[in-house]
Amino acid sequence: MDAKLVNPFVDALKTVLPQMGFPEPERKAIGVKAKTASSLGVSVIVGFTKSIRGNVVYNMSEDTAKFIASTMMMGMPVDEFNDMAQSAISEMSNMLTANAATNLAGMGFEVDISTPSMTIGENFQIKISDDQYLTVGMDIGGHELEIDIAVSTQ
Amino acid sequence: MEKVKVMIVDDSRVSATMLQDILSKTNFEVCAVARTAAEALELYKRNRPAVVTMDMNLPDANGIVCSAKIHEEDPKANIVMISAMKDASLITQGREAGISAFLQKPVSTNELLDTLMLLTQERVGKLALLRDSYVKSFMRAMQDSLKDLAGLASTAQIEVSNSNYIEVDGVSVILGLTGKPMGRAVVYMDMDMARRFTAAMLHSELADISEEEANDSVEEASNIIVGRGVSIINDIFKDREMRITPPGTICGQHIRIVNMKLTSFTVTARTEAGTVYMNIGFAEEK
């Protein structure tokens, strides 16, 4: 797993989020983990394929999801993680991954991305790799967004 | 032919029964009957009908207010007002609330059916196309794979999924679809079935199958099923270039996978070992 593959995703976050009115995201922890990630409550998986194949997961708590949705909707209060808020998170995941795809193309990796799949629940596990995946913790105005990236070797 | 879901909003049992009788002989299916505006909104969210028939006088609000609320929830909602009175001011206000057609009581069978057909035609046409061109290929791939991988014969059916999410317990494998149309497939089953399915694939005793082994085997099988489905489609339509992204496997209880802006279908395959489900969702064409 090549650690430089984290950059297109982190850069996407730093480009896209401030345009939507978020404070500048800060990169916190970065690491390599094996096989399975634990969901924080709301996890959006976006797959990609073509010259490299893999998955990215945007993993966050429901509180963080509500904060992000509220900021995206111009500060409208979001008390419940309802359809509209879910739609905002899904849209953000799509925008971030599309932007990352452009960054990957700049590194010589052309990819097509799938539609986002949002999964909601308590205590579930997500496996995106048979081997290892990269994980980055981002801080957005005091809220944590975890990004897990796996590139398949086959 | 797929049944088209209709929700009736009417506080009079006589009127509601009359409409139900007319629709019972057709391809329309009454999925819910609401007696109040509050109930209508709740049942709309739960059932996502293709079309709603709306009475003007409800105990807690009028039909225009109720239609506006449904329209707020789903801007694409198809609503037909069926009222005793029909005048220009009602039609103007109704249009603003998102009502597409106006009929007068008592409504004739032909008039009602023609109106419902006209309103749902686009959706029915699109669903039929997706089902016949794509979902059937995935169903064939699933049945063939269950047979080849685990020796399991199955009976399968396709249903349009009208809910905003699928609720899953056990193992779910998500595979993105790129190309045209874009979307995603989710193959899922409960943990008991995952272990029985794995035992059949590995020719092993059920007791020897660990949960992790079951997850890995279901993931591999799902990858094969959806991959085969995509191959069948690419063989038929030479210009689609559909591809699948690698699997993401979710494991846990009471999990919701949200069908965000997807038109989705659930394929259910029943085998002697248990049931395997596959939800195929397609994004709106842009």
pLDDT of B3-20, one tens digit each?
A: 789 999 999 999 899 899
Residue-averaged pLDDT of chain B? 91
**What per-residue string of b and e applies to A34-61 under the rule 16 or more CB within 10 Å gives b?**
ebebebbbbbbbbbbbbebbbbbbbbbb
Cβ <8 Å between B252 and A124: yes
Spell out which residues of chain B touch residue A150, defining contact as CB-CB under 8 Å: 246
Rounded CA gap, B223 and B186, in Å? 10
Other Cβ atoms less than 10 A from the Cβ of B84: the count is 11
Q: What percent of chain B has pLDDT over 90?
A: 64
Residue B133 has pLDDT above 90, yes or no: no
| ipTM over cut 0.90 | yes
In which band, very low, low, confident or very high, does the pLDDT at B76 lie, cut at 50, 70 and 90?
A: confident
User: Does residue B263 register a pLDDT over 80?
Assistant: yes
Question: Higher model confidence: residue B28 or residue B54?
Answer: B54
Give the pLDDT band of residue B2 (cuts 50, 70, 90). low
A19/B contact by beta carbon, under 8 A: no
pLDDT tens digits, B138-167: 999 999 999 999 999 999 999 988 788 999
pLDDT at position B1 is 57
- pLDDT at res. B272: 96
Confidence (pLDDT) at B218: 97
Q: Does the pLDDT of residue B84 top 90, yes or no?
A: no
How many Å apart are CA B212 and CA B251, to the nearest integer? 10
Chunked in runs of 10, what are the mean pLDDT values of chain A (154 residues)?
A: 85 93 91 90 95 95 96 91 92 95 93 95 92 93 95 70
B162-215: pLDDT as tens digits: 788 999 999 999 999 998 889 999 999 999 999 999 999 999 999 999 999 999
Model confidence at B131, pLDDT cuts 50, 70, 90, reads confident
Sorted by where each starts, the structural domains of chain B and their CATH numbers stand as: 4-107 (3.40.50.2300), 125-283 (3.40.1550.10)
The 8-class DSSP code of residue B202 comes to H
pLDDT of residue B83: 87
**B31 to chain A nearest CA, in Å?**
22
Phi first, then psi, for residue B271 (nearest 5°) are: -125, 175
Structure tokens at A54: 């893999």
Instruction: Look at residues A30, A94, A89 and name the one whose alpha carbon lies nearest to residue A61.
Output: A89
Which pLDDT tens digit goes with each residue over B24-40? 878 889 999 999 999 99
CA distance A111 to A49: 5
Q: Residue B240 above 80 pLDDT? A: no
Q: CB–CB of B254 and A152 under 8 A?
A: no
Residues forming beta bridges with residue A32, ordered by sequence position: A134
Q: Is the pLDDT of residue B123 over 80?
A: no
- Window 107-146 of A: residues touching B by CB (8 A cutoff) are 112-128
Phi, psi (degrees; rounded to nearest 5) at B86:
-145, 105
Identify which of A57, A114, A119 has the shortest CB distance to residue B257. Answer: A119
Domain boundaries A3-152, corresponding CATH code = 3.40.1550.10
pLDDT value of residue A153: 61
Q: Which of B147, B138, B140 is nearest to B177 (CA)?
A: B138
**Over the range B132-165, which residues count as b (16 or more CB within 10 Å of their CB) and which as e?**
eebbbbbbebbbbbbeebbebebebebebbeebb
Q: Taking CB atoms and an 8 Å limit, are B246 and A150 in contact across chains?
A: yes
Judge: A115–B183 Cβ closer than 8 Å, yes or no. yes
Q: Please tell me chain A's helix, strand, coil percentages from 3-state DSSP, rounded to the nearest 5.
A: 35, 40, 25
Asked if A126 lies within 8 A of B250 by C-beta distance, the reply is yes
* pLDDT for A54: 94
Confidence check: pLDDT of B274 > 90 = yes
Contact A49 B177 (CB under 8 A): no
pLDDT of residue B187: 98
Retrieve residue B277's tokens.
């489900």
Mutate to test the interface with B, among A42, A51, A90, A115 (most CBs of B within 10 A): A115
Q: Which residues contact B136 (CB under 8 A, 6 or more apart)?
A: B158
Nearest-Cα residue of chain A relative to residue B244: A49
